[in-house]
Amino acid sequence: MQPIINSRIPEFKVQAYHNGEFKTITDKDTLGKWSVFFFYPADFTFVCPTELVDVAEKYEYLQSIGVEVYSVSTDSHFTHKAWHDTSESINKIKYPMLADHTGELSRAFGVLNEEDYLAYRGTFVANPEGIVKVLEVNDGPIGRNAAELVRKIEAAQFVAEHKDEVCPAKWEKGKETLKPSIDLVGKI
């Protein structure tokens, strides 16, 4: 298994459903802003809509701090549209829904379950240069928490701006950070 932290996101070109339209999204479209790749197993399922709506409820805030969200499953862009059109919950989604029906993107991020051809619940946060700074991967039955995702993004943005500081456990925006030095060794 190759480490993905601090590696560049893979090159890709996929179809997406976004704001009532089919669009082509590439890795180049993600550069210049923070990006979240939010992989999930499948449309028309059970845990997936709860997660996607949870992220949708944070989407306006995420955009205000320079973040774009890309949900990704191995469904087609046609299936994304059908789900969006028929589900009151999914209709709330304003971020692009990427169609990875070849599994290429899920495989490149290391979250494709080759047995059932569904993605694990993988969350990847990339900086504006396309470098992965945060990742979390859960098995199918375990849902994620968008509030914790926001906290991790804020921490990643903070340390990107403050190279001499680090964020301790449970750090929240505006709270005290640490400045690593020999004086802290054994004192925390």
Task: Please name the amino acid found at residue 34.
Answer: W
Is residue 73 within 8 Å of 41, Cβ to Cβ?
Answer: yes
pLDDT at residue 57 greater than cutoff 60? yes
Work out the average pLDDT over 132-141. Answer: 96
pLDDT value at residue 13: 97
Please state, in angstroms and rounded to a whole number, the distance separating the CA atoms of residues 161 and 163: 6
Residues 80-94 have pLDDT tens digits of: 999 999 999 999 999
pLDDT value at residue 186: 79
pLDDT at residue 44 greater than cutoff 90? yes
Please state, in angstroms and rounded to a whole number, the distance separating the CA atoms of residues 59 and 69: 8
Percent of the chain with pLDDT over 90: 93
pLDDT at residue 153 greater than cutoff 60? yes
If we measure between CA atoms, which residue out of 58, 30, 29 comes closest to residue 125? 30
pLDDT value at residue 182: 83
pLDDT value at residue 1: 56
Regarding the domain with residue range 13-162, which homologous superfamily does it belong to in the CATH classification?
A: Glutaredoxin (3.40.30.10)
Work out the average pLDDT over 121-125. Answer: 98
Is residue 40 within 8 Å of 48, Cβ to Cβ?
Answer: yes
Is residue 30 within 8 Å of 19, Cβ to Cβ?
Answer: no
**Domain boundaries defined on the chain:** 13-162
> Which among 9, 36, 48, 55 is annotated as catalytic?
48
Whether 48 is catalytic is yes
Name the band, by pLDDT with cuts 50, 70 and 90, for residue 3. Answer: confident
Is residue 1 within 8 Å of 110, Cβ to Cβ?
Answer: yes
The per-residue b/e assignment along 62-87, b for 16 or more CB within 10 angstroms, e otherwise, is: beeeebbbbbbbbbebebbbbbbeeb
